[in-house]
């Protein structure tokens, strides 16, 4: 893991992003104290996010079926 000051991160931000894109984790320091961590987003994370959006859009477009008003007696009857 690479450590860089906030001033250097600001000065070389595009270079920093290239390193993160290549898989490097970067911790940013402010006055010697870690304040942020930059990591790349894995393709698996992006795929999961896309699949979740697809599922939610499909569920929103479907009508509700099989809805029943359950009573307490229905739930606890033997």
Tokens matching residue 34: 């870690």
What three-state secondary structure class fits 9? helix
pTM for the model: 0.56
Band of residue 12 on the pLDDT scale cut at 50, 70, 90: very high
Show the domains of the chain with their CATH numbers.
Answer: 2-56 (3.40.1620.10)
Q: Summarize pLDDT for 29-76 with one digit per residue, the tens.
A: 999 999 999 998 887 788 899 999 999 999 999 988 877 888 888 888
Instruction: Give the CA diameter of the chain.
Output: 72
């Amino acid at each position: 893991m690479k450590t860089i000051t906030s001033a250097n991160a600001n000065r070389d931000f595009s270079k920093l992003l290239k390193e993160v894109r290549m898989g490097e984790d970067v911790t940013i320091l402010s006055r010697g104290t870690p304040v942020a961590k930059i990591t790349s987003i894995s393709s698996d994370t992006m795929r999961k996010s896309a699949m979740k959006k697809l599922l939610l859009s499909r569920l929103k477009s479907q009508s509700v079926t099989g809805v029943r008003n359950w009573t307490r007696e229905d739930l606890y009857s033997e």
